[in-house]
Amino acid sequence: MPKLANIAQLPDFPKLEEEVLAFWDQDQTFKKSVEQRPESKPYIFYDGPPFATGLPHYGHILASTIKDVIPRYWTMKGYRVDRVWGWDCHGLPIENMIEKELDLKGGKKGIETFGIDNFNQACRSAILRFDKDWEVIIRRIGRWVDFKNSYKTMDKTYMESVWWGFAQLDQKELIYQGRKVVLYCPRCATPLSNFEIAMDNSYKDVQDNSVYIKFRRKDTKNEYFLAWTTTPWTLPGNVALAVLPDAEYSKIEIEGDFYWVAKDKVTEVAKMREIHHPEIIETVKGKDLEKIEYEPLFNYMPLDAKKAHYVTTANFVSLTDGTGIVHTAAIYGEDDYALAQEKNLPCVPTLDDEGKFFKFVTPVAGMFYKKAEQTLIDELEKLNLVFKAEKYTHSYPFCYRCSTPLYYSAVPAWFIDVQKLKPELIKSNESVDWYPEHLKHGRFGKGLETAPDWNISRSRYWGTPMPIWVAAGKKSSVGLSTQYRVVSSIEELQKWAVVPSQVESLTDIHREFLDDIEVWIDDAKTVKGKRTPEVFDCWVESGSMPFASRHYPFEHKSEFESSYPAQFISEYIAQTRAWFYCMHVLSVGIFEAPAFQNAVTTGTILAEDGSKMSKSKKNYPDPMLLINKYGVDSLRLYLMSSVVMKADNLNFSEKDVSELRKKIFVIWWNIFSFYKTYTGATPVVVDKAPQATHVMDEWLLSRLSSVITEVTTNLDAYDVVKASRVLIEFVDQLSTWYLRQSRERIKSEDGATAQSVLGYALYVLAQLFAPITPFFSEVMHHNLLDDQSSIHLSEWPQAPVKVDLALEQEMETIKKVAEASHAVRKEKAIKVRQPLAKVMVQATTTKPRAAVLDVLIQEINVKAVEWQQADHFSVQLELDLTPELKEEGQAREVMRQIQQLRKDAEVDVHNSVRVELPEWPEAWTEQIKSKAKVSELVKGSVARIIC
Ligand SMILES: [Zn+2]
Given 168, 177, 567, 575, the catalytic residue: 575
CA distances from 277 to 264, 268, 273, 761 (A): 14, 11, 11, 87
| Residue 890: active-site member | no
What is the rounded average pLDDT of the residues 511-531?
A: 95
What pairs with residue 876 in β-bridges? Answer: 840
- Output the CA 201–ligand 1 centroid distance in Å: 15
- Output the CA 535–ligand 1 centroid distance in Å: 16
Q: What angle do CA 508, 513, 518 make, to 5 degrees?
A: 125
CA distances from 650 to 602, 620, 654 (A): 10, 12, 12
- How confident is residue 476, by pLDDT bands cut at 50, 70 and 90? low
Tell which residue, 545, 566, 627, 626, has the closest CA to residue 139: 627
Alpha carbon 522 to its chain centroid, in Å, reads: 47
Q: Identify the pLDDT of residue 907.
A: 86
Q: Identify the pLDDT of residue 836.
A: 96
| Residue 615: active-site member | yes
- Output the CA 193–ligand 1 centroid distance in Å: 12
User: What is the DSSP code string of 205-268?
Assistant: EEEEEEEEEEEEBTT-SSEEEEEEES-GGGGGG--EEEE-TTSEEEEEEETTEEEEEEGGGHHH
Tell me the pTM: 0.81
Q: Which of 619-633, 789-803, 933-947 has the lowest mean pLDDT?
A: 933-947
**Which uninterrupted H or E stretch holds 728?**
helix 720-733
Q: What angle do CA 659, 663, 666 make, to 5 degrees?
A: 105
Alpha carbon 450 to its chain centroid, in Å, reads: 22
- Output the CA 342–ligand 1 centroid distance in Å: 31
Given 24, 164, 469, 539, the catalytic residue: 539
User: What is the DSSP code string of 153-206?
Assistant: TTSHHHHHHHHHHHHHHHHTT-EEEEEEEEEEETTTTEEE-HHHHHHTT-EEEE
Residue scoring higher pLDDT (152 or 201): 152
Given 15, 100, 495, 612, the catalytic residue: 612
CA distance 238 to 218: 15
What type of residue sits at position 122? A
- How confident is residue 200, by pLDDT bands cut at 50, 70 and 90? low
Radius of gyration of the chain (CA): 38
| Residue 579: active-site member | yes
Residue 516 has pLDDT above 60, yes or no: yes
Tell which residue, 58, 64, 60, 57, has the closest CA to residue 83: 64
- Output the CA 184–ligand 1 centroid distance in Å: 8
- Output the CA 403–ligand 1 centroid distance in Å: 6
| Residue 462: active-site member | no
CA distance 247 to 134: 62
- How confident is residue 479, by pLDDT bands cut at 50, 70 and 90? low
Residue 197 has pLDDT above 80, yes or no: no
Residue 152 has pLDDT above 80, yes or no: yes
Tell which residue, 546, 575, 455, 559, has the closest CA to residue 158: 546
- Output the CA 192–ligand 1 centroid distance in Å: 8
Residue 680 has pLDDT above 60, yes or no: yes
Which residues, 6+ apart, have CB-to-CB distance to 866 below 8 Å?
A: 838, 839, 840, 841
DSSP state of 934: E
CA distance 703 to 709: 10
For residues 773 and 74, the answer to whether their CB atoms sit within 8 Å is: no
| Residue 49: active-site member | yes
- Output the CA 121–ligand 1 centroid distance in Å: 21
Given 615, 617, 662, 826, the catalytic residue: 615
pLDDT tens for each residue of 744-769: 899 888 889 999 999 999 999 999 99
SS3 866: strand
| Residue 134: active-site member | no
Q: What angle do CA 926, 932, 934 make, to 5 degrees?
A: 65
- Output the CA 244–ligand 1 centroid distance in Å: 36
What type of residue sits at position 643? V
Q: Identify the pLDDT of residue 628.
A: 96
SS3 38: coil
- Output the CA 402–ligand 1 centroid distance in Å: 4
Q: Identify the pLDDT of residue 395.
A: 87
Q: How far apart are the first and last CA of the chain?
A: 40
Which residues, 6+ apart, have CB-to-CB distance to 135 below 8 Å?
A: 147
pLDDT tens for each residue of 837-871: 999 999 999 999 999 999 999 999 999 999 999 99
Bridging pattern class, strands 650-651 and 175-185:
unpaired
- Output the CA 188–ligand 1 centroid distance in Å: 4
633, 634, 635, 636 alpha-carbon torsion, rounded to 10°: 50
Residue 195 has pLDDT above 90, yes or no: no
CA distance 58 to 478: 48
Q: Identify the pLDDT of residue 609.
A: 92
Tell which residue, 902, 903, 908, has the closest CA to residue 946: 902
- Output the CA 62–ligand 1 centroid distance in Å: 28
- Output the CA 189–ligand 1 centroid distance in Å: 7
Angle subtended by helix axes 720-733 and 632-640, to nearest 10: 120
- Output the CA 108–ligand 1 centroid distance in Å: 12
Given 47, 82, 88, 633, the catalytic residue: 88
| Residue 41: active-site member | no
- How confident is residue 411, by pLDDT bands cut at 50, 70 and 90? confident
- Output the CA 405–ligand 1 centroid distance in Å: 8
Q: Identify the pLDDT of residue 401.
A: 73
- Alpha helix segments (H runs only) across 829-878: 850-860
